């Protein structure tokens, strides 16, 4: 069940937007869109989000190599840095892996 946005949450979000800052949900959306556009790869998921001094850091999982069956795809995990307004200021691939594999395999 989705959580309803409270009046305080909405007020905080609107104040941040007036100051040029974006919220977490917008940061995720913008990171997904901008990274997909730059790399040409399909976004599989978002696995992390944190606030930084400069804006936001978002971890995005991309399909780097699509294969059949999909369990043999090659995924890339990317750390994306956004400024306060949601502009992508940097990204780096931090991991490549196959779906279903854990780090200790």
- Global model pTM greater than 0.75: yes
Instruction: Calculate mean pLDDT across residues 78-92.
Output: 98
Full residue range of the structural domain in which residue 63 is found: 7-97
pLDDT at 34: 98
Q: For residue 81, with 0-12 CB atoms within 10 Å meaning exposed, 13-18 middle and 19 or more buried, which class applies?
A: middle
Residue 11 located in a structural domain = yes
Is pLDDT above 60 for 103? yes
* Total number of domains constituting the chain: 1
CATH number at residue 71: 3.10.450
């Amino acid at each position: 069940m989705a959580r309803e946005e409270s009046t305080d949450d909405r007020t905080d979000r609107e104040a941040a937007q007036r100051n040029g800052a974006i919220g977490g949900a917008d940061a995720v959306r913008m990171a997904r869109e901008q990274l997909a556009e730059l790399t040409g790869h399909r976004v599989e998921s978002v696995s992390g989000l944190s606030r930084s001094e400069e804006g936001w850091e978002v971890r995005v999982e991309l399909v780097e190599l699509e294969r059949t069956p999909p369990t043999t795809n090659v995924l890339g995990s990317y750390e994306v840095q956004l400024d306060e307004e949601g502009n992508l200021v940097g990204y780096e691939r931090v991991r490549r892996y196959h779906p279903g594999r854990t780090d200790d395999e």
